[in-house]
Amino acid sequence: MNTKSIIEADLLIQAKWIIPVRPQGVVFKDHCLAIRANKIVAICPAEEVTTSINAAEKMLLDSHALIPGLINAHGHSPMSLLRGIADDISLSEWLEDSIWPLEAKFVSEKFVRHGANLAIAEMIRSGTTCFADMYFYPEQVARSALAANIRVQLASPVLDFPTVWAQDAEEYISKATRLHDDYRHSELIHTAFGPHAPYTVSDAPLLKLSTLAEEMDIPIHMHLHETAKEVSDAVAADGRTPIARLKQLGLLSPRLVCVHSTELSDEDIAMLAEAGCHVVHCPESNLKLASGFCEVGKLSKAGINVALGTDGCASNNDLDMFSEMRTAALLAKAVAADASALPAQQALEMATINGAQALGLDAQIGSLEIGKYADIAAINLDALNSMPTFNPVSQLVYATQASQVSHVWCAGQLLLEEGEFTSLDVHAIRTDTEHWRNKIAAASQLRTQPG
C-alpha cells in the first residue's frame, strides 16, 4: 500500500483496542478508525495515521475498546413500561393473567411511543445501535427510532385475533405492507413480518406471509418452540411439531428468524439447518419464564446462525446486551456440560454479526469494516471490574457492566458521549415514564411492594 492516497474523514477515533468482529478473532491494539459521513472509511495502526488520514476531528479513547454497535435481535421495546410488573410466574400465567390484560387496558399510540423512547434510551446507553422489534403500532416505534437516530427492524405483528392494532390477519398484514412501503427507502428503518407464534397464527395467513416476504424481500420473525408445552400441544393437536408444520407450509428458509427455540428435537434442528433459518436466543427471558434451555452449542455445530436478544424487558427485566452476552456464554457451557461451549468471542459475534445476518443486514452492519455503517460502541475498560485486562474480549463478555459504555455512534452520528446523551431528551422520557407508572400501578392494584 505504498501508493495509497490520503483518506479524508470527519472523525478519527484512536482506541486502545478495536475489536472488529470480522475478520474473526482479530483484536487491533492502538489502532484508529475513521468515519466519513455515515460510514467507516479506514482502520489502521495509530502510527500510520498521520500519513494516511486527514481528519476534521480526532478523539482519543485510551482505555477503551471499540466494538460494532450491539444488535438486539428480539424484543418488544414498548414493554419497557411494564418492567417488573409481573415477576416469578410462568409464561402462560404471565401472558394471560398479567401482560395481555394490562396491554388491553393501556396500549395506545402514546404508550408505544413513550415505551419505545424509554427502551431506545436504555439501549443506546448500553451500546445497542440496532434492534428487532415486534409490537403494536410499529409506526410509533419507527418515529421514536428516527428521532433518536437508532436502527430498527420492525416485525409488524400478525395474529388471528383482534387486538388494539388490528381486527384480523388481513388487517395486520395490510398494515405491515403499508409500513414497509412507508420506509422502503429509509436508511435506519427496516421491516419484517412478525407472525406472533404458531399457536396464534393459522395456516392461511402464514402462507400469505411466505409469498409476500419473498416478493418484498424481508424476513419473517416469529416466536417458535418457546416452551415444551407449545410443542407437545401442537403435536397432540395435529401430529406435527410447529417447525414440521412450517416446513410443510414452505416457511423454512433463510428469511425465517426463529425466536427462543428452546425445545428442538434433532429432526427440528436438521430442518432448520438445511433450510438456512436463523435462531434468536433470549437466555434471560427463557430462564425467567422457565421456558427451557436453548442448546446453543448444538445449534452452532449444526451450522445454524444464532443471534442474541433480550426479549421485552417485562420478561428480562432490562435491555442490557452485555448481561445477555454473559448469560448466554455462561449458560451454554453448563447446558452442553462443556466449559468450552460458546467462548467469549462467539458470544460477541452472536450480539453483532450474527444478529446482522439474522436481520438480513450483514452487508451493512455487524462488524467494523470499511464500507459498513459507522455503528460503533466504545467501552471504557478502566473500571476496577475490568482489571487486569489480559484479553479485552473476555472482559467485555464476562466482566463488563453496560454502564461502562462511554460512546455510541449510529450511522456515523454520535448519540452518547462520555456516558451522556448528545440529543435525547431524557428529562421528558423520565416524566412520561413516571406518568405511565402511576397510571398502571393505580389500575393494577399492586399487591406487591409499595412503588
Site for its own copies in 313-372 (CB under 8 A): 313, 316-320, 323, 326-327, 330-331, 333-334, 336-341, 343-344
Closer CB to its own copies, 274 or 434, in the complex? 434
Question: What is the Rg, in whole angstroms, of the alpha carbon atoms belonging to the chain?
Answer: 22
101 belongs to the binding site for its own copies (CB under 8 A): no
- Smallest distance, its own copies to C-beta of residue 52, A: 22
Q: In sequence order, which residues have a C-beta less than 8 Å from that of residue 413 and are 6 or more positions away?
A: 38, 149
What is the nearest approach in angstroms of its own copies to the Cβ of residue 427?
A: 12
Residue with Cβ nearer its own copies (160 or 382): 382
Please select the residue that binds its own copies; options are 84, 101, 250, 303, rule is CB under 8 A: 84
Is the Cβ of residue 25 or residue 162 nearer to its own copies in the bound state? 25
In single-letter form, the type of residue at position 142 comes to A
Q: What angle do CA 173, 177, 181 make, to 5 degrees?
A: 170
Look at the block and give the residue holding cell 471490574: 385
In the three-class reduction of DSSP (H, G, I as helix; E, B as strand; rest coil), residue 43 is classed as: strand
> Can you tell me which of 88, 97, 203, 267 binds its own copies, judged by CB under 8 A?
88
Binding residue for its own copies (CB under 8 A) from 291, 300, 352, 357?
A: 291
- Residue 130: CB partners within 8 Å, gap ≥ 6? 69, 70, 71, 72, 150, 151, 152, 153, 355, 356, 359, 361, 365, 375, 410
- Span near its own copies by CB under 8 A; candidates 68-76, 207-215, 234-242, 281-289: 281-289
Cβ within 8 Å of residue 275, ≥6 positions away: 247, 252, 253, 254, 256
Q: Which stretch binds its own copies (CB under 8 A): 90-98, 134-142, 166-174, 232-240?
A: 90-98
Q: Given candidates 32, 55, 121, 179, which one binds its own copies under the rule CB under 8 A?
A: 121
Establish if 451 lies at the interface with its own copies (CB under 8 A): yes
Q: Residues 324, 294: contact at Cβ < 8 Å?
A: no
The footprint of its own copies on residues 6-65 (CB under 8 A) is 17, 27, 29
350 in Cβ contact with 324 (< 8 Å) = no
**Taking contact as CB under 8 A, which single stretch among the options 53-61, 76-84, 134-142, 195-203 is the one that binds its own copies?**
76-84
**Residue selected from 54, 202, 211, 385 as contacting its own copies according to rule CB under 8 A:** 385
Q: Does 114 bind its own copies (CB under 8 A)?
A: no
Min dist. Cβ of residue 337 to its own copies (A): 6
Q: Is 82 left (phi over 0), alpha (psi -120 to 50) or beta?
A: alpha
Stretch that binds its own copies, among 51-59, 249-257, 368-376, 381-389 (CB under 8 A): 381-389
Q: What residues are paired with 257 via a beta bridge?
A: 221, 278
CB neighbours (10 Å) of residue 313? Answer: 25
Compute how many residues bind its own copies; rule: CB under 8 A: 81
Phi, psi of 164 (to 5 degrees): -60, -20
Sole binder of its own copies in the list 1, 6, 236, 384 (CB under 8 A): 384
Which string of x and - marks every residue 124-143 that binds its own copies (by CB under 8 A)?
Answer: -xx-----------------
Residues 248-277 binding its own copies (CB under 8 A) are none
**Which one, of 404, 393, 422, lies nearest residue 19 by Cα?**
393
Using CB under 8 A as the binding rule, the residues of this chain from 413 to 442 that contact its own copies are 426, 429-430, 433-434, 436-437, 440-441
Q: Which stretch binds its own copies (CB under 8 A): 37-45, 233-241, 364-372, 390-398?
A: 390-398
Q: How far is CA 109 from CA 116, 136, 139, 147, in A?
A: 11, 9, 9, 16
Query: Quick check: bond before 23 cis, omega within 30?
Result: yes
The H-assigned helical ranges of 250-368 are 266-275, 283-288, 296-301, 321-336, 344-350, 353-358
| Residue 408 amino acid letter | V
Q: Which stretch binds its own copies (CB under 8 A): 130-138, 207-215, 394-402, 408-416?
A: 394-402
Q: Alpha-carbon distance 446 to 451, whole Å?
A: 9
Binding mask 168-207 for its own copies (x = CB under 8 A): ----------------------------------------
